[in-house]
């Protein structure tokens, strides 16, 4: 490989995924995508192996290749086709995350030379409660399940498929706008890939696509080889599943042998009644994220990262749930705990490299109802940042999303414009980070006042067991959920709950702080 050309192509590939994301952000309708940036984009080779992905949502990106393969397995695609799916048991994460996959044909080829895909979190896809993040006991209650279907045929939207989707959601106009934005994003990716093929030729582009994957593999193998051989174990737990109060344990063993790693989740609890179950795609995604974070070099997060790492998890457990398990919280909460336990295991041989635990939750809030100002239904979803764990030589950041969540906040001005809600408080939760030589980051306080009757669902964690400290540092503070009725009466809420609030009622979320590092 010409090293200069290699660097050019490496940046070309990632720039395509980033530009796809910019197009999606600019053209989407919902604040969840436009403001919070809850989406991900990537490009793939003809075998559905990742070439490059944008710096978007880690929990999406490690799982998306399985959705791309499910789309390909559906059958032959033609130019202009777009396959849509959200099925958690075919590479999806949870039902609000809808993935669109498009083939890229080059020249006279009868088979796609590349694929482009994006995944975006839709504010509502039906189900028991507005926002489609309910306290459910099976996936059917969580919303509309979309198997791989042909949403666009040779450039024309399939009106029957689209009508079926819009008829099963509370906010069809917003869904139509967001899906159209996703289609536009894929079109941008197709156009850019064809442009570089026209300029350099398909042989050269394919050669460098394989080269960036091989390079990522070599760097990952080198990093794993630097870890002392051995077996390293760790366990942590989720507060509960929303139905039962028992903790849900996740256990991991990381075995390092030369330049390969086996990550085994045997011993983790069985899949639960409530929707904190993670499918295998999520478990794989979180594990690969941790190992990618150990690499200091500038390498693309692509298929090469996964080649030296084997992940095993028993079917029917909370980290490899089977159909028809409820999974809405597995993507957002269990993925964070999987990250915590893999980091915890690696802290054995890498004591001075692995940081303390970050907040370990996404603090998911869904709001829905009918806006009396317009008479229109609304559904809204957001996550809330918290404290980052401290590391050797650096205190944790405060009020940020960490690990499997890479989204922004929704600005106060935006949420008050879109919804019959007033934000009464929004500030850092001072002193919530764990003490240590380097302190953990502080969490956030966000308080909502309802201006109408609103359905609220909370999916959160780290309300009972705090984020751990490292190297003698203290744990961060647990989070708190509090209901303040219009008459001033306060009530402590569990980590997972559904409520109906009236005008004047307030909901206060206090997110956890990160753990401290060092005594």
- Closest to 84 measured CA to CA, from 26, 174, 152, 21: 152
CB-CB neighbours of 91 under 10 Å: 23
pLDDT tops 90 at residue 107? no
* Structural tokens at position 172: 């069809």
Q: How confident is the model at residue 54 (pLDDT cuts 50, 70, 90)?
A: confident
User: Which domain, by its residues, includes 431?
Assistant: 355-519
Q: How confident is the model at residue 343 (pLDDT cuts 50, 70, 90)?
A: very high
Tell me which of 161, 188, 216 is where a domain ends: 216
pLDDT tops 80 at residue 60? no
For residues 137-170, b (16+ Cβ closer than 10 Å) or e, as one string?
Answer: bebebbbbbbebbbbbeeeeeeeebbeebeebbb
Q: Would 126 be classed as within a structural domain?
A: yes
Q: Would 378 be classed as within a structural domain?
A: yes
Which ranges of 351-502 would DSSP assign to H, the alpha helix? 412-418
Q: Would 505 be classed as within a structural domain?
A: yes
**What average pLDDT is seen over the chain?**
95
pLDDT digits (tens, 9 = 90+) for 280-337: 999 999 999 999 999 988 888 899 999 999 999 999 999 999 999 999 999 999 999 9
pLDDT digits (tens, 9 = 90+) for 470-511: 999 999 999 999 999 999 999 999 999 999 999 999 999 999
How many angstroms separate the CA atoms of 361 and 330, rounded?
11
The confidence score (pLDDT) of residue 1 equals 77
Q: How many separate domains does the chain show?
A: 2
Angle between helices 202-225 and 3-27 (to 10 degrees): 100
How many angstroms separate the CA atoms of 315 and 325, rounded?
12
Write down how long the chain is. Answer: 519
How confident is the model over 169-184, as a mean pLDDT?
97
Q: How confident is the model at residue 56 (pLDDT cuts 50, 70, 90)?
A: confident
Q: Would 180 be classed as within a structural domain?
A: yes
Q: Would 277 be classed as within a structural domain?
A: no
Q: Is the dihedral of CA 227, 229, 235, 238 positive or negative?
A: positive
Q: Would 91 be classed as within a structural domain?
A: yes
pLDDT digits (tens, 9 = 90+) for 221-271: 999 999 999 999 999 999 999 999 999 999 999 999 999 999 999 999 999
Q: Would 321 be classed as within a structural domain?
A: no
Tell me which of 216, 237, 269 is where a domain ends: 216
The confidence score (pLDDT) of residue 360 equals 97
Q: Which residue has the tokens 């008479």?
A: 375
How confident is the model over 160-185, as a mean pLDDT?
97
Tell me which of 189, 216, 243 is where a domain ends: 216
Contact between residue 200 and residue 192 where contact means Cβ atoms under 8 Å apart: no
Please work out, in degrees rounded to the nearest 5, the angle formed at the alpha carbon of residue 355 by the alpha carbons of 513 and 241: 55
How confident is the model over 347-361, as a mean pLDDT?
96
pLDDT tops 90 at residue 59? no
Give me the residues paired with residue 43 across strands: 52, 116
How many angstroms separate the CA atoms of 17 and 434, rounded?
37
Give me the residues paired with residue 370 across strands: 377
**Residue 438 gets which letter from DSSP?**
B
Percent of the chain with pLDDT over 70: 100
Q: What is the pTM of this model?
A: 0.95
Q: Would 437 be classed as within a structural domain?
A: yes
């Amino acid at each position: 490989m010409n090293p200069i050309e290699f660097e050019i192509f490496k940046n070309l590939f990632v720039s395509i995924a980033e530009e796809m994301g910019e197009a999606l952000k600019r053209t989407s309708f919902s604040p969840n995508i436009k403001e919070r940036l809850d989406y991900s984009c990537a490009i793939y080779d003809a075998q559905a192996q990742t070439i490059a992905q944008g710096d978007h949502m880690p929990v999406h990106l490690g799982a998306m290749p399985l959705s791309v393969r499910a789309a390909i397995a559906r059958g032959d695609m033609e130019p202009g086709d777009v396959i849509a799916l959200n099925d958690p048991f075919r590479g999806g994460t949870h039902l609000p995350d809808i993935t669109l996959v498009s083939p890229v044909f080059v020249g006279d080829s009868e088979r796609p030379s590349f694929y482009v895909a994006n995944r975006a979190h839709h504010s509502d896809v039906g189900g028991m409660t507005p926002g489609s993040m309910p306290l459910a006991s099976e996936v059917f209650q969580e919303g509309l399940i979309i198997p791989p279907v042909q949403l666009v045929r040779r450039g024309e939207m399939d009106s029957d498929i689209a009508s079926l989707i819009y008829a099963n959601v509370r906010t069809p106009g917003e869904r139509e706008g967001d899906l159209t934005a996703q289609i536009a994003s894929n079109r941008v990716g197709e156009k850019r890939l064809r442009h570089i093929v026209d300029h350099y030729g398909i042989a050269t582009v394919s050669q460098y696509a394989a080269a960036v994957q091989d390079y990522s593999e070599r760097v990952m193998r080198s990093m794993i080889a630097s870890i002392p051989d051995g077996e390293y174990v760790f366990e942590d737990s989720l507060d509960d599943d929303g139905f039962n109060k028992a903790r849900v344990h996740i256990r991991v063993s990381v075995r390092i042998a030369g330049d390969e790693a086996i990550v085994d989740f045997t011993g983790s609890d069985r899949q639960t009644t409530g929707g904190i179950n993670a499918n295998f795609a999520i478990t794989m995604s979180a594990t690969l994220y941790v190992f990618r974070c150990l690499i200091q070099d500038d390498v693309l997060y692509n298929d090469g990262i996964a080649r030296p790492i084997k992940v095993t998890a028993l079917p029917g457990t909370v980290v490899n749930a089977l159909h028809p398990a409820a999974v809405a919280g597995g993507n957002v909460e269990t993925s964070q705990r999987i990250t915590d336990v893999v980091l915890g295991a690696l802290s054995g041989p890498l004591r001075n490299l692995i940081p303390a635990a970050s907040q370990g939750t996404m603090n998911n809030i869904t709001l829905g109802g009918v806006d009396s100002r317009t008479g229109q239904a609304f559904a809204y979803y957001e996550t809330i940042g918290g404290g980052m764990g401290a590391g050797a030589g650096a205190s944790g950041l405060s009020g940020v999303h960490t690990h499997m969540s890479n989204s922004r906040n929704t600005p106060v001005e935006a949420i008050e414009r879109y919804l019959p809600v007033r934000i009464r408080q929004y500030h850092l939760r001072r002193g919530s980070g764990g003490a240590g030589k380097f302190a953990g980051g502080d969490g956030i306080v966000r308080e909502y006042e309802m201006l109408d009757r609103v359905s609220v669902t909370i999916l959160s964690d780290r309300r009972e067991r705090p984020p751990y400290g490292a190297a003698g540092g203290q744990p961060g503070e647990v989070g708190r959920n509090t209901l303040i009725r219009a008459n001033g009466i306060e009530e402590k809420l569990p980590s997972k709950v559904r409520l109906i609030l009236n005008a004047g009622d307030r909901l206060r979320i206090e997110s956890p702080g990160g753990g401290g590092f060092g005594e």
